[in-house]
Homo-oligomer: A and B are copies of this chain.
Amino acid sequence: MREILGVMKALADENRLRIVAALHGRELCLCQIVELLGLANSTVSRHMSILYQARIVQSRKDGRWSYFRLAEQDATPAALDAVSLVLQSLQQDGKIRADAQRLKQILRVDPEILCQRRSESPC
């Protein structure tokens, strides 16, 4: 019960669904997700923690950066099924499509520069 409930709660938030969709087939660092969603980095960090505790994402640290990706071998079956269901449902969603476009732009920028730019010019 606790397991499936945690998974469902983790996926019962619009911003976390956007994060899951953005991580589909990709690995992103926190500042990239922050840039995509336009939320405070503390907020995004909290979202990632919730997704992590539900075994939906894995994290990896490289120096100062934390990279996140969808869990695969480490995920529970419930989490895997829920994620693929979500991904399928969001395939044609407008907001998710817009995120994908915007993500292309973000990925063109070196993360190093991306993070610094954030503190300089709060677009």
Contact = CB atoms under 8 A, between A and B. Distances in A.
A5 B1 contact: no
Contacts of A88: 78
Interface stretch (A9-17, A62-70, A105-113): A9-17
A40 interface: no
A11 B13 CA distance: 12
A85 interface: yes
Interface stretch (A27-35, A41-49, A90-98, A115-123): A90-98
A89 interface: yes
Interface of A: 1, 3-5, 8-9, 11-14, 17, 78, 81-82, 85-86, 88-90, 93-96
